[in-house]
Amino acid sequence: MKRMAGFRNLPMFVTLGLFIVMFGTGSIAFPGFFSVQNFLNLFIDNSFLLILAVGMTFVIISGGIDLSVGSVLALSGMVTAKLLEQVHMSPLLVIPIVLAMGTALGLFMGYLIQTFELPPFIVTLAGLYLARGLCYIVNLFTIAVTNPYFVAAAHAQVFIIGTSFLSPGAIVAIVVVLVGFFVSRYTKFGRTVFAIGGSEQSAILMGLPVARTKIAIYGLSGFCAALAGLVFTLYTLSGYGLNGSGMELDTIATVVIGGTLLTGGVGNIFGTVLGVFVYGTIQTLIVFQGTLNSWWTRIAIGFLVFVFCLLQRLFESRKARAAVRGPLTQPAGAGASQG
Amino acid sequence: MTEEQPILVMKGITKVFPGVKALSGVDFRLFKGEVHAIMGQNGAGKSTLVKVLTGVHRQESGEVRLEGRPIHPDSPLAAQKLGISSVYQEINLCPNLSVAENIFAGRQPIRGGIIDWNRMARRSEELLKRLNVSIDVTRELSSYSIAIQQLVAIARVLDISSRILILDEPTSSLDDAEVDQLFKVMRSLRDEGLAILFITHFLDQTYRIADRITVLKNGELVGEFRTEALPKIDLIARMLGKELSEFSRKRAGTQAARDEKSVLSVKSLGLRGSIAPFDLALNEGEVLGLAGLLGSGRTEMARLIFGIDGATQGEIRIRDRKVAIRSPQNAMMAGMGFCSEDRKNEGVFAELSVRENIILALQAKKGVLKNISPRRQLEIAEELIKSLAIVTPTANNKAGQLSGGNQQKMMLARWLATQPAILILDEPTRGIDVGAKLEIMELILSLSRRGMGIVFISSDFEEVVRCSGRIAVLRDKVKVAELNGDDVNETAIMRTIAGGN
Amino acid sequence: MSWWKSLSRSNIFWALVALAALLVFNLFFTPNFMRVTIREGHLYGNLIDILKNGAPIMLLAIGMTLVIATKGIDISVGSVVAISAGAVAVLIGGDLAGNPKYPILVAMAGALLVSVLAGMWNGMLVSRIGMQPIIATLVLFVAGRGVAMLFTNSLQLWLYAKPFAILGQGYVLGFPFDIYIVGFILLVTYLFTRRTAVGMFIEAVGINPTAARFSGINARNIIFWVYTFSGLCAGIAGLIVCSTVMNADGNNAGRLFELDAILAVVLGGTSMNGGKFYLLGSIIGALIIQTLTVTIYAFGVPADAAPVVKALVVWAFSLMQSPRFRLTIAQAFNRGRVAA
């Protein structure tokens, strides 16, 4: 596709290469690594992360950030468990309620950010605190989910190829990815997100519905967080306040590794999927290795984030230097950060 | 080429902002099939007039008629719907989106409920071909030069509506070949009947492309002229509000450089994209004026000398010793000082006290650890406040509370505290009252008498003549000449800028 | 009368008012809030607890104040606390008899060295490479805990070397030892920023980075060193945290500390936009947060739910600092007045 093979998408191909190299190394080093099921497990074990990452991709492309997603995931799981187990509501009611709750919180934060020009970082960080706290107010300890529909869904196996299967959660994740891709590419909303990330001022001057879109983006992220929470509840069959701790960072990390620029305007849903693959493969490699501390995942991800951010920064500064021929009212390379 | 009735008539436009009358009873008319340039110096009202036309501002009085009918656009989008399109210097497009997408942002062709990328690409190619541009429209905008980006912006606005096209400073970032390309496009659009409003400060370009010129000065209409009927020197005179016959003589008995001791010597200093390589020499006790119109490159020159922008070629010598000036810190340590023309964004720390503002550079020169005691700070500050007659209740008041003129004097005080050998002043008299202006000019003269070498930049030719012993004249980012002795007068400056023809 | 005017205009004033209000509230509604008893020569009581438990956040807030003053932010401090705790724990070792692997002072120095390196890392990314502070400090935010867990081999490492406990649990002249540490750091920082030009330079860089550069200030260096200092403060806080509970939990140590630190700084009067900073204000801000936590707890709400209140306070404060919000409120008032 001519559109894909651009210099801008170079980071995504780096990620693809990274993933292939990692998966390949694992396949060579560990017997049993190279299997269809092992690949499909990437979807199963990281289904919630995929869903979070799709929402986060939109937010980051627009130039913002959402630090609350991990906590909203936990809150959604908590509320789901409570409503199912202690209030005895039917899943048909619980699911829409939880999704609405996540979306509402997201829309509220988006409203604060857009209307009063508050920094997304602080607003969503407070959202993280709010959701976490609400979790504990709902219930201090774990609630096990025993609702028959959820249990059935948790153990269900959808066979894809031969004996290799996907979980319902993974299927939901894949659907979210496909919908996300479609929205980002073929709808005006999606394209407005890119425009805002590229230059919000220009987008406003071009007459795009910037305010509405920005608020909606955070609502979308909240929706994804709630949905991810539901899927996570399927995965663990419980609601627990400490769930998803730090998951917002993993999400941001996978989005960045997938080639989306933290400064906004550039991003790709499939790149994000690759980022999640890389993340999942690192974890699988560590599990297969057996002796390595699982915290190496954190370090490896942190390192990859650093490398990708560094590359992005160098890429930006090279472009800035090339554009010295630009408007002469700006000093070249201004700003405290460059001294 | 021109029709009898203008497509646009603005009559008696007056626009007032708190404290300043930006436009007073300005008339303007635009015909179909012409390129019309608006020219004027700082504060002339060019951009305000355009903003009234595009609906950013509402005029206090006067009316705007488009094709005979009065219009009142209340936003740029409303103006666009009426057929008034504008492309600005900053090219308000999204660099990360493709060319095609920029042209169709917000109005993408839809087929079957989803965006039709193919049709978007094909339509974009057609629109660009009309402007003589054939590029890959699926690549992102930022991968193309500013010149191409500008044409993309033009393609977008013309596709949306095309009665009047406003181009605001479109050539500031273009090289000669690109300017040619843009002008070719403008001419073909004009020949098709489009009315083009062209705002620029480049003299030569105006004469190349504009059919008609409207000159504004201080918010008032000076006149509308056919280009071929207006010699360059007349244009300059009108922009500055001078009559050719009244030129002020160089002040009698001006300082000649006393003992020719060179304090600053610049050879072939240049930065690609900023200003053409130039030579400059300054002696002790001399005031060198930099004269030129807006946008001629004077500030760029100062920034290169002071190390704000890194020069890509050339050398600087201070007292005949070669120095590497890579940052303002280097420049300061080498004995230079610089007052920027943009006081607010590049000079004043509004929330710090006057005292802190004054001793800041001196403290930076001494280093972080050699603290200037608060008592000494107060001494230094109060001494300078007194000698420069800065009006402030105390030295500890916040600098943001001072008037413009006093803030300017405070900036001067900052650099005087470092006792520089060379002081570069960029528009030190801009935006301050007459009394303060005179004080500052007196100060400049007295400092030079005490041996300081001063580079004095001002848009007011009279001031430059009054203070300077020698004048370097700039035009369109090139230093074109130096004026000495008897040539230090306003007419000579204007003649030099106008060029031989 | 004029001293009242200048006091009420000072940024610290409102922080003091908030703190006073909280204390008065507790006076009425929390039994024995103000009671301070002496046991074994040590002072005990709610007020002492506030000081003691707030010590780590106060330290972080000191470093964070300077970072925010330069228009920056450091979200890695929580992770650096964990790294420091992990490092010192590993260097001391979990020998049951309490014999430290390395002399305790050496272990502490080692942990501080690691923290300083972390700060320098952040400083380099922001000042030399020019990364946005949020992004630059995000790296350690993500990876830091992993590093901490590496140190402790992902276990909670328990320490038994008694002398180390003095840091977080000891008392000198009746007052908890860690308060002295906070006081010392505060004093040193205050003197260094106010008695040398550093404080003024930091403010200049935050108020107008361009003008600072044009005035010959080496903004790059200033920025580099404030992040380094923030790392050091986080390191010291990590030592205290580890010493208080005599274990290092790389996963949970310092969790959510960064928002508390940022909140403390903002409450104390320093603006998130950089510029003038108030060290004392940040300390008061940290005390407010700690008192708030105690108040909530005294009402039977689990401490884990305190974040909800903090979140609401952050939103409220951000709104108040937002010019757009203040404008909206002003307009609403005017409309009301016109209608009436």
Q: What is the mean pLDDT of residues C55-69?
A: 96
pLDDT-wise least confident of A99-103, B186-190, C189-193, C252-256: C252-256
Residues of B in contact with A2 (CB under 8 A): 138
Whether C314 and C250 map to the same domain: the answer is: no
A112, pLDDT greater than 80: yes
C36, pLDDT greater than 80: no
B190, pLDDT greater than 90: yes
Place of tokens 């300043």: B20
Q: What residues make up the domain containing C319?
A: 309-340
**Domain boundaries B246-335+421-501, corresponding CATH code:** 3.40.50.300
Whether C109 and C243 map to the same domain: the answer is: yes
Cβ pair A63, A220 in contact under 8 A: no
Distance in angstroms (rounded) separating the CA atoms of residues A24 and A153: 32
Residues of B in contact with A208 (CB under 8 A): 105-106
Six-digit token pair at C99? 């014999």
Residues with Cβ within 8 Å of B247's Cβ and at least 6 positions away in sequence, in order, are B489, B490, B491
Q: What is the mean pLDDT of residues B156-160?
A: 91
Residue C2 banded pLDDT, cuts 50, 70, 90:
low
DSSP element (H, E) containing A330: none
CA pseudo-torsion sign A24, A29, A30, A32: positive
| Domain-embedded: residue C168 | yes
Pick among B96, B312, B340 to test the A interface (most A CBs inside 10 A): B96
Residue A94 banded pLDDT, cuts 50, 70, 90:
very high
Q: How far is CA A264 from CA A64, A310, A326, B91, C217, in A?
A: 7, 15, 21, 19, 31
Distance in angstroms (rounded) separating the CA atoms of residues B84 and B8: 10
DSSP element (H, E) containing A166: strand A164-166
Six-digit token pair at B304? 């290169």
pLDDT at C129: 87
Out of 3.30.300.30, 2.60.40.10, 3.40.50.300, 3.10.129.10, select the CATH number for domain B8-240: 3.40.50.300
Pick among C128, C200, C203, C215 to test the B interface (most B CBs inside 10 A): C215
What is the signed CA dihedral for B45, B47, B48, B49, rounded to 10 degrees?
80
Whether C132 and C258 map to the same domain: the answer is: yes
Cβ pair C71, C223 in contact under 8 A: no
Residue A328 banded pLDDT, cuts 50, 70, 90:
very low
Six-digit token pair at B75? 């936003």
> Is B246-335+421-501 the same fold as B8-240?
yes
User: DSSP letter at B350?
Assistant: T
Report the chain A residue with the minimal C-alpha distance to residue C153. A293
Domain boundaries, chain B: 8-240, 246-335+421-501, 344-419
pLDDT at A325: 40
Residues with Cβ within 8 Å of A220's Cβ and at least 6 positions away in sequence, in order, are A55, A58, A59, A103, A106
Cβ pair B190, B33 in contact under 8 A: yes
| Domain-embedded: residue C219 | yes
Distance in angstroms (rounded) separating the CA atoms of residues B220 and B22: 9
**B19 torsion bin: left (phi>0), alpha (psi -120 to 50), beta (else):** left
Distance in angstroms (rounded) separating the CA atoms of residues B182 and B87: 13
User: DSSP letter at B194?
Assistant: -
Nearest-CB residue to A298 (from C145, C206, C315) = C145
Residues of A in contact with B326 (CB under 8 A): none
Q: Does B94 touch chain A (CB under 8 A)?
A: yes
Q: Which C residues 118-147 touch A at CB under 8 Å?
A: 126-127, 129-136, 138-147
Q: Which A residues 211-270 touch B at CB under 8 Å?
A: 265-266
Residue type, C214: F
Distance in angstroms (rounded) separating the CA atoms of residues A10 and A8: 5
Nearest-CB residue to C219 (from A127, A262, A336) = A336
Distance in Å, alpha carbon of A331 to nearest chain B alpha carbon: 7
pLDDT at A197: 94
Q: Which residue has the higher pLDDT, B142 or A213?
A: A213
SS3 B289: strand
Q: Which residue has the higher pLDDT, B185 or C153?
A: B185
Whether C199 and C332 map to the same domain: the answer is: no
Instruction: Tell me which chains share at least 3 CB pairs under 8 Å with chain B.
Output: A, C
Q: In what order do the strands lie in the sheet with B262-271?
A: B275-283, B262-271, B313-318, B321-323
* pLDDT, tens only, B335-385: 999 999 888 888 999 989 999 999 999 999 998 888 888 899 999 999 999
The number of angstroms, rounded, from the C-alpha of A289 to the middle of its chain's C-alpha atoms is 27
Tell me the CATH number at A120: 1.10.3470
Q: What is the mean pLDDT of residues A59-75?
A: 94
| Domain-embedded: residue C290 | no
Q: Does B227 touch chain A (CB under 8 A)?
A: no
Taking any CB pair shorter than 8 Å as contact, residues of chain C touching chain B are 195-198, 200-201, 203-204, 207-208, 210-218, 275-276
Distance in Å, alpha carbon of B425 to nearest chain C alpha carbon: 13
pLDDT-wise least confident of B181-185, B237-241, C143-147, C334-338: C334-338
| Domain-embedded: residue A323 | no
The number of angstroms, rounded, from the C-alpha of A170 to the middle of its chain's C-alpha atoms is 15
Mean pLDDT estimate for chain A = 84
Render the burial of A200-214: b for 16+ CB within 10 Å, e for the rest: bebbbbbbbebeebb
Residue C4 banded pLDDT, cuts 50, 70, 90:
low
C93, pLDDT greater than 90: no
Residues with Cβ within 8 Å of B450's Cβ and at least 6 positions away in sequence, in order, are B285
| Domain-embedded: residue C192 | yes
Six-digit token pair at B277? 């390589």
Cβ contact (<8 Å) for B348 and C211? yes
Q: What residues make up the domain containing A135?
A: 7-317
Name the β-bridge partners of C213.
none
C18, pLDDT greater than 80: no
pLDDT at A324: 45
B239, pLDDT greater than 90: no
Whether C113 and C72 map to the same domain: the answer is: yes
Cβ contact (<8 Å) for C308 and A134? yes
Residue C224 banded pLDDT, cuts 50, 70, 90:
very high
Place of tokens 């497990």: A41
pLDDT at A5: 45
Distance in angstroms (rounded) separating the CA atoms of residues B35 and B211: 5
* pLDDT, tens only, A237-252: 888 777 777 788 889 8
C177, pLDDT greater than 90: no
| Domain-embedded: residue A279 | yes
Q: What is the mean pLDDT of residues B99-122?
A: 93
Count of structural domains within chain C: 2
Whether C109 and C223 map to the same domain: the answer is: yes
Residue B259 banded pLDDT, cuts 50, 70, 90:
low
What is the signed CA dihedral for C141, C142, C148, C152, rounded to 10 degrees?
150
Distance in angstroms (rounded) separating the CA atoms of residues B196 and B218: 24
CA pseudo-torsion sign C30, C35, C36, C38: negative
Q: Which residue has the higher pLDDT, C256 or C59?
A: C59
Cβ contact (<8 Å) for B364 and C198? no
Per DSSP, helices labelled H in B105-202 are 117-130, 146-160, 176-191
Q: How far is CA A335 from CA A312, B326, C205, C209, in A?
A: 18, 16, 9, 6
B248, pLDDT greater than 50: no
pLDDT at B303: 93
Report the chain A residue with the minimal C-alpha distance to residue C131. A313
DSSP element (H, E) containing B225: strand B220-226
pLDDT at A53: 96
Place of tokens 């995929």: A50
Q: Which residue has the higher pLDDT, B201 or B138?
A: B138
Residue C117 banded pLDDT, cuts 50, 70, 90:
very high
Cβ pair A244, A70 in contact under 8 A: yes
* pLDDT, tens only, A176-224: 999 999 999 999 999 999 999 999 989 998 889 999 999 999 999 999 9
SS3 B12: strand
> Which of the residue ranges A104-118, C5-19, C99-113 has the most confident prediction, judged by mean pLDDT?
A104-118
Cβ contacts from B onto C, under 8 A:
76
Residue A339 banded pLDDT, cuts 50, 70, 90:
very low
B391, pLDDT greater than 70: yes
With a cut of 0.95, is the ipTM above it?
A: no
Instruction: Tell me which chains share at least 3 CB pairs under 8 Å with chain A.
Output: B, C
